[in-house]
């Protein structure tokens, strides 16, 4: 009789859920998924939830394979020497292998006065719910300022403007920095035509209860300030004594194995392979999750794990419920001067964007039904360290 192997997956987002499902390829593995919420959060839809135009959760019952045991709890500390995860409830889970997939979260800088007190992050469900309540209480003439010109900021500003709100987008630099110049101009044109005031060079110096002050002294009216300029990661690895990069992402080799412990692998936003993190995105979550799961399966089978390999093809940004822009990229995630957008193309791109968003859950469900089914483009060289401004595919 074969001995049972217990694998604990920390984090039930896009990466952790897919990795847990993929581990079912080995019937001798017991799989436990630890997540703080009883429902899956679709982070790609948090801006819609905050704007009151849609839901952002899904039922784990329809996403997880039958052999995955969901534990709703928080992981407080990993004791690598004892191979134990200590939970907030007081429970302790022992493991043979651990998949670290804690994801990312919002980050408001302590160096900007008032940001932590008065700005609303949007990176997590609880953040978006708080923002949704604040927006619901606004009068018709109230201004909303969205801070951050990355893809999350653009999508939030566009969604709110489409609902009739008066919106200013303070970019703090370049709008859509991951896009090519032609695509950036097209996105800016769309926002302007749909009522979003774009302040591209607006570096925020202070957030007040009713305004945002820029570094040049400009005072922008803001009954609600949404902060999307930058993301961080949970500090679980740091608190557990595991080596991380400066942001707190777990340092791994190219098999996504921790540089400290070959029983710990990582996936998603909180991993830095060879010290060089990938773009924080749903696109990256799938290949890293599958690679992490495959590394565990290989080690259990006594074979050498494969190396992480993925090629990027495109990135996208939603512009309200019916429009979007798709930016084509090289395999290393750098943009080319080809995009789908403009007056007609944005509607086609909007349909593609919605299909991609729905497809993320479809892929997780497929992995639950048929473990090992996830495939992705490979062969790309490692991209440069991405700007931490996007939660998008």
Q: What are 41-92's pLDDT values in tens digits?
A: 999 999 999 999 999 999 999 999 999 999 999 999 999 999 999 999 999 9
Please answer whether residues 31 and 24 qualify as being in contact, where contact means their C-beta atoms are separated by less than 8 angstroms: yes
Gap between the Cα atoms of 194 and 319, Å rounded:
10
Helix, strand, or coil here: 98?
A: strand
pLDDT > 70 in the chain, percent:
96
Is pLDDT above 80 for 29?
yes
Closest CA to 41 of 285, 293, 311: 285
Cα 333 to chain centroid, rounded:
16
pLDDT at 390: 44
Q: Where are the domains of the chain?
A: 5-36+73-104+233-310, 115-227
pLDDT at 389: 42
Strands lying side by side in the sheet with 314-319? 314-319, 323-329, 335-340
pLDDT at 106: 83
Is pLDDT above 90 for 382?
no
Helix, strand, or coil here: 346?
A: helix
CB-based burial label for 174 (10 Å; 0-12, 13-18, 19+): middle
Sign of the four-CA dihedral 81, 67, 3, 271: negative
Q: Which pair of structure tokens corresponds to residue 58?
A: 């899904």
What pLDDT, in 10s, does the model give residues 178-188? 999 999 999 99
Please answer whether residues 353 and 324 qualify as being in contact, where contact means their C-beta atoms are separated by less than 8 angstroms: yes
Cα separations (Å) of 352 from 14, 156, 266, 285? 19, 18, 30, 19
Please answer whether residues 122 and 128 qualify as being in contact, where contact means their C-beta atoms are separated by less than 8 angstroms: yes
pLDDT at 1: 43
Q: Looking at residues 315-338, what average pLDDT do you find?
A: 94
Helix, strand, or coil here: 258?
A: strand
Q: Looking at residues 222-226, what average pLDDT do you find?
A: 97
pTM of the model: 0.94
Is pLDDT above 70 for 388?
no
Gap between the Cα atoms of 159 and 153, Å rounded:
10
Q: What is the rounded average pLDDT for all residues in the chain?
A: 93
Residue 229's φ and ψ, nearest 5 degrees, are: -85, 80
Q: How many CB atoms lie within 10 A of CB 129?
A: 14
Please answer whether residues 256 and 207 qualify as being in contact, where contact means their C-beta atoms are separated by less than 8 angstroms: no
> Of the CATH numbers 3.30.450.270, 3.40.50.1390, 3.40.50.20, 3.50.50.60, which one belongs to the domain with range 115-227?
3.50.50.60
Is pLDDT above 90 for 126?
yes
Q: What's the pLDDT band for 170 if we cut at 50, 70, 90?
A: very high
Indicate the CATH number for domain 5-36+73-104+233-310.
Answer: 3.50.50.60
Cα separations (Å) of 382 from 14, 177, 259, 295, 309? 21, 19, 19, 19, 9
Fold equal for 5-36+73-104+233-310 and 115-227: yes
Is pLDDT above 70 for 223?
yes
Please answer whether residues 148 and 68 qualify as being in contact, where contact means their C-beta atoms are separated by less than 8 angstroms: no
Cα separations (Å) of 130 from 44, 46, 155, 229, 380? 17, 12, 18, 18, 39
What pLDDT, in 10s, does the model give residues 89-119? 999 999 999 999 999 988 888 889 999 999 9
């Amino acid at each position: 009789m074969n001995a049972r192997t217990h694998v604990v997956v920390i984090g039930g987002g896009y990466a952790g859920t897919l990795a847990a499902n993929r581990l079912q390829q080995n019937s001798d593995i017991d799989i436990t998924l630890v997540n703080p919420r009883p429902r899956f959060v679709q982070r790609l839809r948090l801006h819609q939830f905050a704007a009151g135009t849609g839901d952002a959760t899904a039922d784990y019952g329809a996403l997880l394979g039958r052999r995955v045991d969901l534990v709703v709890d928080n992981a407080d500390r990993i004791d690598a020497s004892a191979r134990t995860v200590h939970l907030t409830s007081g429970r302790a889970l022992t493991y043979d292998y651990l998949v670290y997939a804690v994801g990312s979260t919002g980050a408001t800088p302590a160096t900007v006065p008032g940001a932590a007190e008065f700005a609303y992050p949007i990176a997590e469900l609880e953040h978006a719910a708080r923002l949704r309540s604040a927006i619901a209480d606004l009068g018709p003439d109230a201004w909303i300022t969205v801070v951050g010109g990355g893809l999350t900021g653009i999508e939030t500003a566009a969604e709110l403007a489409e609902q009739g709100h008066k919106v200013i987008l303070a970019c703090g630099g370049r709008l859509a920095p991951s896009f090519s110049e032609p695509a950036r101009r097209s996105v800016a044109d769309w926002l302007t035509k749909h009522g979003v005031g774009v302040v591209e060079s607006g570096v925020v110096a202070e957030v007040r209860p009713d305004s945002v002050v820029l570094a040049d002294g400009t005072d922008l009216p803001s009954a609600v300030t949404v902060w999307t300029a930058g993301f961080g990661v949970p500090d679980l690895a740091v608190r557990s004594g595991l080596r991380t990069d400066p942001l707190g992402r777990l340092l791994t080799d190219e098999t996504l194995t921790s540089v400290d412990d070959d029983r710990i692998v990582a996936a998603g936003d909180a991993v830095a392979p060879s010290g060089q993190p990938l773009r924080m995105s749903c696109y990256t979550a799938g290949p890293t999750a599958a690679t992490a799961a495959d590394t565990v399966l290989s080690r259990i089978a006594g074979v050498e794990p494969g190396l992480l390999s993925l090629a990027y093809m495109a990135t996208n940004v939603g512009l309200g419920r019916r429009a979007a822009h798709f930016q084509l990229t090289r395999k290393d995630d750098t943009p080319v001067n080809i995009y789908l957008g403009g007056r007609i193309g944005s509607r086609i791109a909007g349909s593609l964007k919605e299909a991609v968003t729905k497809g993320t859950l479809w892929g997780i469900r497929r992995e639950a039904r048929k473990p090992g089914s996830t495939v992705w483009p490979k062969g790309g060289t490692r991209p440069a360290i991405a700007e931490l401004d996007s939660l998008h595919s």
